[in-house]
A and B are shown apart, each in its own frame.
Chain A
Amino acid sequence: MAQLNGLNGLNGLNGLNGLNGLNGLNGLNGLNGLAIANGLSGAAGATADPSALLTTHDGIAGSWQAPATSPRWPSFDSADNLRLWGAAFRGHALDASLFTELTFATSGPGPSTLTLFHVERRSGTAGIECDHLPIISIRAPGPQQFGGEQLRLTAGYAALRIDRIHEIVSQIPIPLGFIGAIAFLSDVRTPRTIELLMAAHRFAVLVEMRFKQAFATPRPADFSPQIQPVIPTPLHGAFPSGHATEMFIMARVLSTLLASAGVDHYREGLWKQQLMRLAYRVAVNRTIAGVHFPVDSVAGCALGLALGDYLVARCQKADRVYRQRIFDGSEFTDDGNDQQDFAWGLVDDAFASPANKLAGLTTGGEHTVARAPMLGWLWDQALAEWQGDGAPAPAPRG
């Protein structure tokens, strides 16, 4: 598998670099080792030494006899073919399709804004025509905001380092173990769910890095020598926060998946609440660590939720609708009693209804998109892992 994970070589130089997530397999490592990457082959020991196979073949194959029939033939470009491949290869095919239906442009409601578009192709009179449907536009706050209130908040958060240091360190790589503790993920019971979350994670990383490059926001340690982060400052821009984006897209996708399973138990708001709280905690831990400003997490949260909604929309068989979001960091200021701090509930409320206001975050129009067949296949597979058989268990007493 070495050549497929070529980027890991780079990561090996800097083990603390979040780029581990670029290859979704490493996220699986966070949970259960390499077993899922190889299907279950590692566990079953279903491979053997080549030279032993050579001699065995010589011993038993015998004279050539042409078979009379053919194997079952795959349908052309059927998403169902995905079941035949290893997870990593599924991932590549899926990413190739998803990522080539996206584009970025420095256009948006205001200046210095980068927008992510979905490219909707349809057959038109002149051949294939494209509609560019905006998913999210982001503009960063200005240097005075970062260097003023944001920096003050970041410095103040350091008071919690003594409490959170273990979490900070263990949440440097993809915190899949933390998510799995909430929703009982396992490579044996829910391998497709894990794959889906890793696909969401790769999607988030691709998008967030493009945004980070556009703003190239300096890190807290660039502003002050007193921040002294407790982990190495990552080698990419601060805004938006990668951990926030990745955690919130995974939280959004997983809680939506659970709620869609058609099982009353997973429809309880408690699942979403705990997943969101976890995403929030991981994001805030980055500020406590001294490598992010609170507004980085606000933007990351908005980005993660927007990407999650878009991803989920592309998986559905019907009603594939998402709403455009705009986060204008220059508007993210103190307004009355509001602070420039990150509160996930406020972002989530603003996503739930445009009537709920959050400074800087606005909602645009709705867009309908085509299904992404491979992603949709993975979604359906993951969904089945939560549906189970039989009657629901009786409600607990009390």
Chain B
Amino acid sequence: MEWRTEGQSRFQGRAITIDPLADWLLGDAGAPIAATVPSPDDLTPDLSLRVLIRLAEGVTAADLATFAVNGVRPADDAIVFGDVKAATWRSSILIASTYRQAKGHWAGARYCTARIAPQVVNWLADHDVLASFIDSLTISVPPEPLVIRAAGTPLAMQATPRIAAGSVLMGLIDDGLCLASDRFRSANGQTRSVGLWSQQFTAASRPPGFDYGRLITRREVNTALGSSGGDEDAFYRIIGLYDAGLPQTTWSAARTTHGTHVMDIAAGAAPEGDVAGSDLRPIVSVQLPDVAVDDGSGHSLGYYLLDGLRFIAAMAERMAEGTDGPPNPVVVTVSYGNMAGPHDGSSDVERAMDDLVRGWSVAYPSVPFVIVMPSGNSYLADCHAALPADGFERDFPQSLTWEILPDDGTPNLVQVWLPDGFDGVFSLQVSTPTGQTVALSTKGTSFAELRDDKGRLVAQAISCPPSKARSRHLFQICVTRTAPDDVGGPVAPHGRWRLTAAASGMQTGTHVHAWVQRDDLPRRTVRNARQSRFVDPCGGTRDRRVPNEGAEHRCLVDGAGSLNAMASGSSVVVVAGAFVRTDMAGGVPDIAPYSGAGFKGEENRGVDLAAPSEESVVLAGIRAGGARSRSSVRLNGTSVAAPFVARRIADRIESFRQASPKSAAGGLVSTFARPSKSDERQGWGIIRPAATDDDNSDRHPLRF
């Protein structure tokens, strides 16, 4: 086994910023993730890659789909670049019609999703002219063969649901959503769901403008509620969401699901409670497909997430059609996240969310569209390290030990991000547990592949220089599985990999940040994933701070900076998790030990506030609705804190008509003693459930 450096990255250093994983996915037939992807040189346009695209300035998705320049559409047989005809381009990229409109919140959108033939990625790398259309391409992996149903038209919204003006529309993007539960119904037994988009299976009734999945309308749900007569098992069968033989559908028969629990905290209410109260809000939801939910790395999520958010925004607009006013305010809870990314809001997923909120606020200046996300659960996961500039100057060993576990059936990934504007020299030496070493540098080797004795790809180390849509230099190391598979594929050595960094010319006070990507089992053990991490002598301590100067060892691994890598955008409200009760009389409630945090000193970006995710140190989790009416289960994690804040933001929007997401969240914490966000773990502080001031406990999702 040895590192080979004679190769070059196919996709980095080009005019267009291309996903740093593209070489891993598409460059080698032996690369494990790419095993199901047709060769990129295959000219048959098999539209199997789902991507997130940042459009160049002034370009619309419609332009991109047709290759229109300045409004002029080339003829089908015209050559548009290289030897590629316009017709070939148009059949190699599929953008849902919903992105190709220009009204409402779509006006000026800079991001769209698309399904492309793998060949398109080669074109983006090889033909600079395409940079006039596209700034950046992120691939939602793992890719899968897609069955596009040509037959069937999108469902026309027969009776557009109407909701009361001023009422906030609660949005949700998550996994299994158990709509039949009475927590999501009105007093008359009818559903409060105005639309559920199940992205898993494609049916004739797709959401208008999208070309996959199935839209389950309010009418369908009410009809199924009626014909199932209170038997919720029968409901899921009747509405076609349950098939015992399809594992993707068995969630509705489980005791609980992540999505239902989160939805209950955000928008659940006892139907026979105070029916005039605003707890009975309409719900619009998106059920993510298994491929996104089961992929702990989060890399598969972007495509479905942006589509889901656009769907929710479009539903709000559609419901306002025919009325004189703007859409109702929207608060969306997205309780998902991962660990590796730039953490400065510049990833495509984060920018796409900001772009949507911006477009909405331009179209509807007085109407909030709020996205609430959790801060993540990796504060103690030892998956973030910060290498300070002065450490490089004093030649301290800026070295990280990256431990990859045995019997890990999924690849592991580390990203090392240089500070913005870095113009010095940085080198990263990568050593395997079995002693093979290679060094990459900003000025030298930029691409290295570790291949086994059979020449198969085991690991890839790549240096991605700043490009059009990525201003920071990124080093990425990707290592294949350490568990053997059934077909004798390549296996990486498990154990301690060593990453040794050296740098000159770093600005004082800046840091090089390294993250291990998330690689755990979000839901089921269908994938043999095991989390790798940094090993640091400071590991195990709960509160890591850089020791005083002169100390022999510096703690490089740091929980500050462990924030959800999808939650650094400027428009997202980020929620940390906290205890409801402390175990000390008169004690102050504390942050949950795992709750992800932003960088110290950069509190303006990071956690906004904290909400309950643990009852107490002896009673874990928060109790909320299970899969059936009157069932309750406990789940913990910052995932259950985010919807709590979403509900409170909706309360405030309805009460005070606050327009901007951050001011709505800020208003929530206006009663706190903290004058500003001064804590990277708590933000403005911990919001607690109303203790005793409300004797109608059904108004609150948390019953203690």
Contact = CB atoms under 8 A, between A and B. Distances in A.
Interface in A60-109: none
A235 B389 CA distance: 71
Contacts of A294: 244
B237 A343 contact: yes
Given A277-B231, A345-B231, A345-B234, A159 B247 contact: yes
Interface string B238-250: 0000011111001
B234 A156 contact: no
B104 to A, nearest CB: 37
A149 B246 CA distance: 11
B245 A156 contact: yes
A160 interface: yes
Interface string B156-197: 000000000000000000000000000000000000000000
B253 A160 contact: yes
A339 interface: yes
Given A160-B250, A160-B254, A153 B234 contact: no
Contact of B244 (A156, A273, A345): A156
B634 to A, nearest CB: 14
Contacts of B149: none
B255 interface: yes
Interface in B499-529: 524
Contact of B250 (A152, A157, A277): A157
Nearest to B237: A343
A273 B230 CA distance: 10
Nearest to B626: A163
Contact of B245 (A153, A160, A163, A345): A153
B447 to A, nearest CB: 42
Nearest to A398: B272
B231 A341 contact: no
A155 B230 CA distance: 28
A149 B245 CA distance: 8
Interface residues of B, number: 15
Interface in A345-380: 345
A159 B246 CA distance: 10
Given A149-B245, A153-B245, A159 B250 contact: yes
Interface in A168-224: none
A356 B245 CA distance: 25
Contact of A156 (B231, B250, B524): B250
Contacts of A163: 253-255
A156 B233 CA distance: 16
Interface in A241-300: 273, 277, 280, 287, 294
B243 to A, nearest CB: 7
Given A163-B255, A277-B231, A345-B231, A156 B247 contact: yes
A82 to B, nearest CB: 39
Nearest to A149: B245
B647 to A, nearest CB: 27
Contacts of A343: 233-234, 237
Contacts of A157: 244, 250
A159 B233 CA distance: 16
A152 B230 CA distance: 28
Contacts of A153: 244-245
Nearest to B240: A337
B440 to A, nearest CB: 43
Nearest to B230: A273
A374 to B, nearest CB: 37
A155 B524 CA distance: 16
A152 B253 contact: no
Contacts of B231: 277, 345
Contacts of B524: 159
A163 B176 CA distance: 15
A155 B234 contact: no
Interface in B578-619: none
Contacts of B245: 149, 152-153, 155-156, 341
Interface core residue of B233, B234, B246, B255 (most chain A CB under 10 Å): B233
A174 B376 CA distance: 46
Given A156-B250, A159-B250, A163-B254, A339 B243 contact: yes
A273 to B, nearest CB: 8
A347 to B, nearest CB: 12
Nearest to B251: A159
A357 to B, nearest CB: 15
Nearest to B250: A159
A157 B244 CA distance: 6
Nearest to B253: A160
Nearest to A281: B233
Interface core residue of B230, B243, B244, B250 (most chain A CB under 10 Å): B244
Contacts of A152: 245
A280 B230 CA distance: 15
Contacts of A155: 245
Interface in B187-244: 230-231, 233-234, 237, 243-244
Contacts of A273: 230
A341 B237 CA distance: 10
A149 B244 CA distance: 10
A93 B253 CA distance: 44
A157 B255 CA distance: 14
A249 B237 CA distance: 25
Contacts of B234: 343, 345
A341 B254 contact: no
A341 B244 contact: yes
B480 to A, nearest CB: 26
Interface string A128-144: 00000000000000000
A339 B249 CA distance: 14
Nearest to A276: B231
A109 to B, nearest CB: 29
A153 B237 CA distance: 14
A205 B583 CA distance: 55
Contacts of B247: 156, 159
A294 B244 CA distance: 10
A137 B524 CA distance: 43
Contacts of A156: 243-247, 250
A81 to B, nearest CB: 45
Contacts of B250: 156-157, 159-160
A160 B243 CA distance: 12
Nearest to B249: A156
B214 to A, nearest CB: 15
B261 to A, nearest CB: 14
Contacts of B246: 156
Contacts of B255: 163
Nearest to B272: A398
Nearest to B242: A341
Contacts of A345: 231, 234
Interface of B: 230-231, 233-234, 237, 243-247, 250, 253-255, 524
Given A157-B250, A160-B254, 15 more contacts: A153-B245, A156-B243, A156-B247, A157-B244, A160-B250, A163-B254, A273-B230, A277-B231, A280-B233, A294-B244, A339-B237, A341-B243, A341-B245, A343-B237, A345-B231
Which 3 residue pairs are nearest across A and B when measured between Cβ atoms? Answer: A156-B245, A159-B250, A153-B245
17 contacts: A153-B244, A153-B245, A156-B243, A156-B245, A156-B246, A156-B250, A159-B247, A159-B250, A159-B254, A163-B255, A277-B231, A280-B233, A341-B237, A343-B233, A343-B237, A345-B231, A345-B234
